[in-house]
């Protein structure tokens, strides 16, 4: 069999099918065994999809637990550090003195509070999205 060399040659050898030719083809019957096999395959695919969805949800829940704990530890550590700095600022003895200028202390407390609240809100929004 030869391969056509140009598009004109392809068009000249192509059989044209009309609507009447298609209308002459009657409906075909499908064997019940084929229908049953298709139903079983569809059911199996649906079950596989649902198992995958459940697996994804379980993994999301485990990741949320892990990251919620990490963020909690970060926030507690961060606030504890600020508490220690503020405590050192107010604790003065004859042999120990720790002083920060008031502007530095206010900036430290303000920026830390904003950062902690911001991180908490971002992570909480990610970990617990609104469900439709």
Write the pLDDT tens digit of every residue in 8-47.
Answer: 555 566 666 666 666 666 666 778 888 889 899 999 999 9
More confident residue, 123 or 111: 111
* DSSP-derived secondary structure letter, 12: H
Determine the Cα–Cα distance for residues 86 and 83; give it in Å rounded to an integer.
Answer: 5
Q: What does pTM read for this prediction?
A: 0.55
Q: What is the pLDDT of residue 47?
A: 94
pLDDT, tens digit (0-9, with 9 covering 90-100), for 55-113: 988 888 888 888 888 888 988 898 898 888 888 888 777 777 778 888 988 898 888 88
- The three-class DSSP label of residue 101 is coil
């Amino acid at each position: 069999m030869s391969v056509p060399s140009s598009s004109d040659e392809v068009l000249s050898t192509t059989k044209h099918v009309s609507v009447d030719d298609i209308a002459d083809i009657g409906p075909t019957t499908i064997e019940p065994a084929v229908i049953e096999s298709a139903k079983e395959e569809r059911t199996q695919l649906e079950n596989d999809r649902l198992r995958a969805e459940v697996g994804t949800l379980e993994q999301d829940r485990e990741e949320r637990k892990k990251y919620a704990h990490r963020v909690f530890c970060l926030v507690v550590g961060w606030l504890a550090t600020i508490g220690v700095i503020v405590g050192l600022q107010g604790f003065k003895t004859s042999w120990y003195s720790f002083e920060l200028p008031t502007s530095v202390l206010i900036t430290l407390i303000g920026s830390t509070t904003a950062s902690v609240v911001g991180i908490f809100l971002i992570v909480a929004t990610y970990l617990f999205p609104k469900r439709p």
